[in-house]
Every structure is written in structure tokens, then in C-alpha cells.
Amino acid sequence: MFVLGIESSCDETSVGIVDGEGNVLSNIISSQIDVHSLYGGIVPEVASRQHINHIQKVCRSALKSASINWSDVELISVTNGPGLAGSLLVGVNFAKGLAANLNIPVFPVNHMDGHIYAAWAKTDKNKLLDFQSSVGEKNITCLVVSGGHTDLALLKNYGEIKLIGETKDDAAGEAFDKVARILGLRYPGGPEIQKVAEKTEEIDKLPRAWMKGTDNFSFSGLKTAVMNKVKKYKNEKNFSSYVPILANSFQESVVDVLFKKTINVALRENSSGIILAGGVAANLPLRNQFLQNSPLPVAIPEFQLCTDNGAMIAMAGLINYKIKNYSEDFDVKPNLRVGES
């Protein structure tokens, strides 16, 4: 069995193919970063037009790279939300047209659930951990950190994901992107901040919003704290050598809050393990913090499966198909939340 997953919720056009065992046969990603970085962020209409331009050739090359033909595909899954409406429409329309032509089923995938299920996609670097087979008996705490979301959720069973905490203002990735802009770094800010922060070990301690008594997050105060430091020091001669210190301090603060709040939930909820997913899970200090210091086992998808990609949508499609949790009658849902359909 081959499942073809289509992702076009934001600024990546991607098609991935998994087999019935969840092995990733291909995962082609066409990024629009170069186009949007000219504007310092994503321009929705430009994103939709880029998806239209690229989706067909991305799909062809996913089939080629998996060494299969159109007629070998048995199922199509496609992101229908959350995301930019115009971008989602391109993927959903393409998927429905393809399914009609091939006379096979097509069904929607929640993008956030896709990030979580990326941990099940098998590649040389992605191995299924023991705790993932405990689903149904015990829960798994999932931290999904992306450009649009910072969600803490409990995976109770396949198809049963319960949101328990979220950001009340900026998402973690959004904070990386905005702080990068304040520091004069390029879009997307996450990888840029990580790179610049590697130049120093020095910290100019920044605040943390613990949102005590809740499982929620807040990152806009931290962003303002960085902005205030920039205003204070920008005219000083050695400001350029202060930028890495600020980047490092910002990153340290984000990692600290994400790590401690997630561990707190996982222990409280008696989880069998933790899944760290989404674009910000590509951040090395964040990965290392979880991998080296978590008291519970941790699964983090390999880098290419953290940022938006079609293989995670194919994997989620396969899981939903096995539990029969799908319907062919669907529209785009730009405001879908984790665990919703």
C-alpha cells in the first residue's frame, strides 16, 4: 500500500509518500523562503500562487523518487488546516482532482496532528521508540512548536489528541521570527538565531513567562524585552558583538520555558514519553535539552520531518485510515486546532 501526502498550509509545497508500514519512500519539499524573505515574512497571496506553480512538479518528483507510478497510489491525504486559506485551497483542490482521476480515496489531515505523527514515520534516522507502542494504555505528552502554534497536547489514543495548553500570544516560532527581525537577521528567524547564538556562551538573562497554574505559554513579553535591550544598546560601538549574546539569551529563555513546562505536564499526566514536534523542534539546543535532561523517553522527528513536509501528512493519513477516522467530504479549515477534525 502507498499513501501520498500533500502539504501546502503555509510556505512549503510538499508531497511525501509512505508505504503501509510507515516507511518514508520520498519527501519532496519546495520551499518559498527565498521569495518571502524579500518581504521579511510570508505574504499569503504570493504563497498561494507559488503553490500553484510548484505542486504538480513536486508531486511528480515525489513519485519518481519513491520509484512508483500514479497507479500504485492507493490513498491520498492532504492538509486541510490550520494554515493560510488560499494556500490550503491549492493543496486540497489538487488532492481532490488527483483522487477523482485515479479513482481512489482522499481525506483530510490536521496539520498539527501531522507534526505529531511525523514521529512514527520510519527513515534511517527516525526509529519508532518503545513508548510509542504504549498508546492506548498510557498517554504521550506532545509539544508542537511551529511558526503559528505552541501547543501542549496529550495523545491518548490514535486519533484522540487532546489540547491542554497553548500560547496566549506569539507562537514560539513566531517569536524566533520576530526577534530575528528586531536583531536584523533574515527570515525564517529560527535557524538564523540558532546560528548567531552559537558564536557565544554569554547570557544577558531575559525574563520567562511561566503562566503559573496553567499549561499555557506566552512569548510576547520576551520579544518586548529583547526590543528594549536593542533600543538601549543599539547606538553603542560594540552593538554587533552584543547581537549574539541577545540571540543566545532569547533562545535560552524559550528553551527553558518549553522544556520545564512540558516535563511538568508529562510527569503530572503520568505519560509514557514525550514527543517534540514542529518546525521549532529543529532547534538544536531545544533538542539537546530534551534528549539529555528529560526524565522520560523522548522522540523528536529527524530535521526534515520537523519543518512542514508531505511525509508527515502521508503518515498521519495512514494512521487515520487504519483507525477509519476520516471522511471524504471536507473543506479547508484555516483555524483548526490540534486534535480537531
Taking the complex as a whole, the smallest distance from the CB of residue 308 to Zn ion amounts, in Å, to 4
Q: Which of 86, 114, 147, 244 binds ligand KG4 (CB under 6 A)?
A: 147
Q: Which stretch, 33-41, 117-125, 185-193, 287-295, contacts ligand KG4 (CB under 6 A)?
A: 185-193
Cβ contacts of 76 within 8 Å, gap of 6 or more: 3, 4, 5, 6, 95, 98, 99, 102, 104, 105, 106, 107, 317
Site for ligand KG4 in 276-315 (CB under 6 A): 278-280, 282-283, 307-308
Assess contact for 170 and 220: CB atoms under 8 A.
yes
Question: Whole-angstrom Cα distance, residue 80 to residue 113?
Answer: 11
**CA dist 274 → 111, 143, 214, 263 (Å):** 19, 8, 19, 8
Given the rule CB under 5 A, which residues bind Zn ion? Answer: 146, 308
Closer residue to ligand KG4, CB minimum distance, 134 or 200? 200
Q: Which entry of Zn ion, ligand KG4, none binds 167, CB below 5 to 8 A by partner kind?
A: none
Taking the complex as a whole, the smallest distance from the CB of residue 74 to ligand KG4 amounts, in Å, to 27
Query: From residue 259 to residue 278, what is the string marking binding to ligand KG4 with x (rule CB under 6 A)?
Result: -------------------x
User: 174-205: string of b/e by CB count within 10 Å (b at 16+)?
Assistant: bbbbbbbbbbebebbbbbbbbebbeebeeeee
Q: Which entry of Zn ion, ligand KG4, none binds 191, CB below 5 to 8 A by partner kind?
A: ligand KG4
Instruction: Starting at the earlier edge strand, list the strands of the sheet with 2-7.
Output: 24-31, 12-19, 2-7, 75-81, 106-110
Cβ contacts of 37 within 8 Å, gap of 6 or more: 186, 187, 188
Closer residue to Zn ion, CB minimum distance, 81 or 273? 81
Q: Which stretch, 43-51, 146-154, 199-207, 266-274, contacts ligand KG4 (CB under 6 A)?
A: 146-154
Taking the complex as a whole, the smallest distance from the CB of residue 128 to ligand KG4 amounts, in Å, to 21
Summarize as ranges the residues that interact with ligand KG4 (CB under 6 A): 10, 146-148, 173, 176-177, 188-191, 194, 278-280, 282-283, 307-308
